[in-house]
């Protein structure tokens, strides 16, 4: 495993982050691919043994269950709390009440305490806003996050999918007031969704913000889980409505290019697609979900795959622009 700073902050993370959303309560309706704690433990243990030190979850994943599993497993697998970097998120509703979601001071302060209880720790290393809150003034949100950091409950703060102008406004608000600024952006970014290259990624590079993409394999599309003829090769591929919304027929031209290079290299498609992300200077660590040991092994191996300029160009050439996806 290799390690890098999260943007220009002093925080060092493994170049692969393990996304913990895959571990929770399988929903018989649309999340059959999730793993319960006993099935998740061998995969998380394998990640720890491979040198992964960066783990990302959110309060809303299985309504807190993912945080509970994450807290128990990391406490068991690491001898010391400072041996790993723990990230979680706030925004989505955690109950039916009018203040049970969003980025108000009330919800942020209640949510950080609830997350810490579930995670069995006194602090998170990275506390992220999961989405932009159109109903709460950004000044209120940024001051509340500053107070969370000042209290010692979070070491750094980060953000997730939003428009570049919103992120710039948040950073400016914090800078002008002397509050804590975001050190990371967890955005929707992969070979078949590159809209972030227009504004968000250049902004992050200029501001020294580390990009930690979610869905780096396009919900399995870039790993070969779906075929152009409609065949679905995994449980998740058959139970993932968002994949149908996010990706189009034209994306299979990119998938075909990845498959061709993977075949030439004698490597799995997932390694090639992740190596492409890791080649981008703005990317600190893709957040990878793993429900099988092979998923984790491919992610770790991708760190050592060096693509040529020609291979990168071949995979990028077929790209077709997309509507904005992943901001809600």
pLDDT digit of tens for each residue in the chain (328 aa)? 999 999 999 999 999 999 999 999 876 555 677 999 999 999 999 999 999 999 999 999 999 999 999 999 999 999 999 999 999 999 999 999 999 999 999 999 999 999 999 999 999 999 999 999 999 999 999 999 999 999 999 999 999 999 999 999 999 999 999 999 999 999 999 999 999 999 999 999 999 999 999 999 999 999 998 777 665 555 444 455 565 677 888 999 999 999 999 999 999 999 999 999 999 999 999 999 999 999 999 999 999 999 999 999 999 999 999 999 999 8
Could you give the 3-state DSSP secondary structure of residue 168?
Answer: helix
- Let me know if 127 is a catalytic residue: no
Torsion of CA 44, 94, 149, 137, to 10 degrees: 140
**Of 23, 61, 156, 247, which one is the catalytic site residue?**
61
Q: In 10 A of CB 176, how many CB atoms? A: 10
What element of type H or E holds 328? none
Could you give the 3-state DSSP secondary structure of residue 45?
Answer: helix
Domain boundaries, the chain: 3-316
| Contact residues for 196 (Cβ-Cβ < 8 A; gap 6+) | 187, 188, 189, 211
Contact present, 258 and 273 (Cβ < 8 Å): yes
Q: Domain spanning 3-316 has what CATH number?
A: 3.20.20.100
Q: Compute the distance between CA of residue 294 and CA of residue 274 in angstroms, rounded to an integer.
A: 14
Placement of tokens 């982050």 in the chain: 17
Q: Compute the distance between CA of residue 230 and CA of residue 154 in angstroms, rounded to an integer.
A: 44
């Amino acid at each position: 495993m290799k390690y890098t700073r999260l943007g220009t902050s002093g925080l060092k993370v493994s170049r692969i982050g393990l996304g913990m959303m895959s571990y929770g309560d399988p929903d018989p309706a649309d999340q059959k691919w999730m793993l319960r704690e006993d099935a998740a433990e061998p995969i998380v243990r394998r990640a720890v043994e491979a040198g992964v030190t960066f783990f990302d979850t959110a309060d809303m994943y299985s309504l807190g269950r993912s945080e509970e599993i994450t807290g128990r497993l990391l406490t068991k697998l690491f001898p010391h709390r400072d041996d790993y970097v723990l990230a979680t998120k706030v925004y989505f509703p955690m109950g039916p009440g009018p203040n049970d979601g969003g980025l108000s001071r009330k919800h942020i302060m209640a949510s950080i305490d609830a997350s810490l209880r579930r995670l069995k720790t006194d602090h998170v290393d990275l506390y992220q806003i999961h989405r932009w809150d159109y109903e709460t003034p950004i000044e209120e949100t940024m001051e509340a996050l500053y107070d969370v950091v000042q209290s010692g409950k979070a070491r750094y703060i980060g953000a997730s999918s939003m428009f570049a102008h919103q992120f710039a406004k948040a950073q400016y608000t914090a800078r002008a007031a002397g509050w804590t600024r975001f050190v990371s952006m967890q955005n929707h970014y992969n070979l078949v969704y590159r809209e972030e290259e227009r504004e968000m990624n250049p902004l992050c590079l200029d501001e020294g913000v580390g990009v930690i993409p979610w869905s780096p394999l396009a919900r399995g599309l870039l790993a070969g889980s779906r075929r152009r003829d409609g065949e679905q090769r995994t449980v998740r591929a058959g139970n993932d409505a968002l994949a149908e919304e996010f990706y189009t027929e034209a994306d299979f031209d990119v998938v075909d290019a990845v498959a061709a290079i993977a075949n030439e290299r004698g490597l799995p498609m997932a390694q090639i697609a992740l190596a492409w992300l890791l080649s981008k200077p703005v990317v600190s660590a893709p957040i990878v979900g793993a429900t099988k040991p092979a998923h984790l092994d491919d992610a770790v191996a991708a760190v050592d795959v060096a693509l040529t300029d020609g291979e990168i160009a071949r995979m990028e050439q077929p790209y077709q622009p997309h509507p904005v996806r992943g901001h809600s």
